[in-house]
Chains A and B, each alone.
Chain A
Amino acid sequence: MLPNLLRIVSLCVVVLTLGFCTPKSDDKSNLPVIDSLKMVPANQYVSADQSPMDISYYPPEFPQHKLAGSSKAEMPVGRVIYSRPHKKGRIIFGSSEKSLCPYGKPWRLGANEATEIEFFKPVVIDGKNVRAGRYVIYCIPFADKWIIALNSNIDSWGLAIDAGKDILRTEIPVQQQTPAQEDFTIVFMFATYGADVVMAWDEVKTVLPLVFSP
């Protein structure tokens, strides 16, 4: 009983704190860095996140393959580190400003920190060479296409995207999928030309092809 009470009280504290943290102006120092999704008071040190982080590798499951000895490679080709928000009955992509990710507005492809993609060797995206290294990846969603951008402003929170630091932009078509997917997902998949980065949430799926240099 007492622990439950504590939980309710601490939840109230977090809700109140979040209320006070809501920005009142466009001042950069007041950016809403505490996201509404991130409010589980479960641990007095660092709460486990509502939109937990995850990691995907190419080749898929690289660490497991390395462990099992079925991959002799020291390094993977790529990996993505992103947070996974849930749909929770909300409208995700749409033209309404009430959509979580409105058309035409940059979205961090996740939650919390800007999503990070790292290539351990050079790749080709849309005919353009991309050097090995670490990038922020984000999108600008539309009904029929997404603009995908790689950006050099790494280790930043995902709410303030500095398009001036884009190093590449490309457009990919939107595919519909059913059933709707609850958790946002990014995975690498095998492709004859290299790999596909599959990004899927709700009823939307997009694929970014990566070509590996010989």
Chain B
Amino acid sequence: MKNILSLAFLLMVSLAAVAQSKLPPIDKSPLDISYFPENYPVLKIQDKIPEPLIARVIYSRPQKNERKIFGELIEYGKVWRLGANEATEIEFYVPVKINNAKIKKGRYSLYAIPDSDKWTIILNKENDTWGSFRYDLKKDIVRMDVPVQKQGNIAESFSLLFEKAGSGFILNALWDDVKVSLPFSLQ
């Protein structure tokens, strides 16, 4: 495994060396950021912030490109980085609760193990890493199973977005015909 990784890395580096004279192009799966409260930066400069900043997620957005996503491109039962490129990062600006577990404020990586009827969402403390290739179970903070909701509208780009729910909030993950919702409460 380690050899394959090193080899893949050497390849990446040599490709990078070839392209050294040129600065990096735009990524095929562009990075994006979602805040809770939603659109926090826009509301901030308009002096319309409804409540303090609670969370944000930084993730890359792969496209469906006419492929079947879950069960094929993203295999069932395997850890997925919930995006592309760098591992998806979620940050809490206040302490929150997931599945009754208390989560301190700070940065975490977010992964998922998709299945046909449910996803296991994983919060992990290994930050600033690439993908889920070195995902380390020992660094898990909490796991939670959430049901898969099928939807008629196809989401072309993978999307993560927050939504207010009661006294807490939800992180929705949407791609292809699948939606899952991860509920958070405030401590």
A residues in contact (CB < 8 Å) with B: 28-29, 31, 33, 42-49, 52-57, 61-70, 74-76, 79, 81, 84, 113-114, 155-157, 159-160, 181, 183, 185, 187, 198, 200
A45 interface neighbour in B27, B45, B134, B174, Cβ under 8 Å: B174
Hey, which chain B residues are within 8 Å of A44, CB to CB?
Answer: 153, 155
Given the interface pairs A31-B45, A43-B156, the reply to whether A67 lies near B30 with Cβ below 8 Å is no
Q: Chain A's nearest CB lies how many Å from the CB of B43?
A: 9
What is the CA–CA distance of A103 and B85 in the complex, to the nearest angstrom? Answer: 36
Residue of A nearest to B64 (CB): A43
The 8 A-B pairs of least Cβ separation, nearest first, read A52-B30, A68-B9, A160-B45, A63-B130, A67-B130, A53-B31, A157-B41, A185-B23
Given the interface pairs A63-B128, A67-B5, A160-B45, the reply to whether A53 lies near B157 with Cβ below 8 Å is no
What is the CA–CA distance of A113 and B61 in the complex, to the nearest angstrom? Answer: 17
A156 interface neighbour in B24, B25, B45, B86, Cβ under 8 Å: B45
B27 and A54 within 8 A (CB) = yes
Q: Mark B24-52, 1 if CB is under 8 A from A, else 0.
A: 11110011111100001110111110000
Hey, which chain B residues are within 8 Å of A159, CB to CB?
Answer: 45
A181 and B33 within 8 A (CB) = no
B30 and A53 within 8 A (CB) = yes
Across the A-B interface, how many residue pairs have beta carbons closer than 8 Å? Answer: 128
**Additional A-B contact list (17), CB under 8 Å, known A61-B16, A67-B133, A68-B6:** A28-B45, A28-B46, A54-B24, A54-B27, A54-B30, A55-B31, A63-B129, A64-B9, A64-B130, A66-B134, A67-B9, A68-B8, A81-B31, A155-B35, A155-B41, A155-B44, A183-B25
Hey, which chain A residues are within 8 Å of B41, CB to CB?
Answer: 113-114, 155-157
A67 and B131 within 8 A (CB) = yes
What is the CA–CA distance of A21 and B32 in the complex, to the nearest angstrom? Answer: 23
What is the CA–CA distance of A42 and B24 in the complex, to the nearest angstrom? Answer: 25
Q: Which of A46, A57, A63, A75 is most buried by chain B, counting CB atoms within 10 A of its CB?
A: A46
Q: Chain B's nearest CB lies how many Å from the CB of A22?
A: 15
Q: Chain B's nearest CB lies how many Å from the CB of A153?
A: 8
**Does B161 belong to the interface (CB within 8 Å)?**
yes
Q: Chain A's nearest CB lies how many Å from the CB of B54?
A: 11
Q: Chain A's nearest CB lies how many Å from the CB of B71?
A: 21
B86 interface neighbour in A55, A75, A200, Cβ under 8 Å: A55
What is the CA–CA distance of A70 and B130 in the complex, to the nearest angstrom? Answer: 13
A156 and B44 within 8 A (CB) = yes
Can you list 6 A-B pairs, Cβ within 8 angstroms, ordered by A? A42-B156, A47-B157, A48-B61, A67-B5, A67-B129, A183-B25
What's the dominant secondary structure at chain B's contact region? mixed
Hey, which chain A residues are within 8 Å of B156, CB to CB?
Answer: 42-43
Residue of A nearest to B47 (CB): A28
Q: Chain B's nearest CB lies how many Å from the CB of A26?
A: 13
B33 interface neighbour in A28, A74, A113, Cβ under 8 Å: A113
A45 and B161 within 8 A (CB) = yes
**Does B112 belong to the interface (CB within 8 Å)?**
no
What is the CA–CA distance of A48 and B84 in the complex, to the nearest angstrom? Answer: 14
Q: Chain B's nearest CB lies how many Å from the CB of A143?
A: 22
**Does B87 belong to the interface (CB within 8 Å)?**
yes
What is the CA–CA distance of A99 and B33 in the complex, to the nearest angstrom? Answer: 28
B30 and A46 within 8 A (CB) = no
Hey, which chain B residues are within 8 Å of A156, CB to CB?
Answer: 41, 44-45
A55 and B58 within 8 A (CB) = yes
Q: Chain B's nearest CB lies how many Å from the CB of A119?
A: 13
**Does B12 belong to the interface (CB within 8 Å)?**
yes
Hey, which chain B residues are within 8 Å of A49, CB to CB?
Answer: 30, 32
Residue of A nearest to B10 (CB): A68
What is the CA–CA distance of A70 and B35 in the complex, to the nearest angstrom? Answer: 33
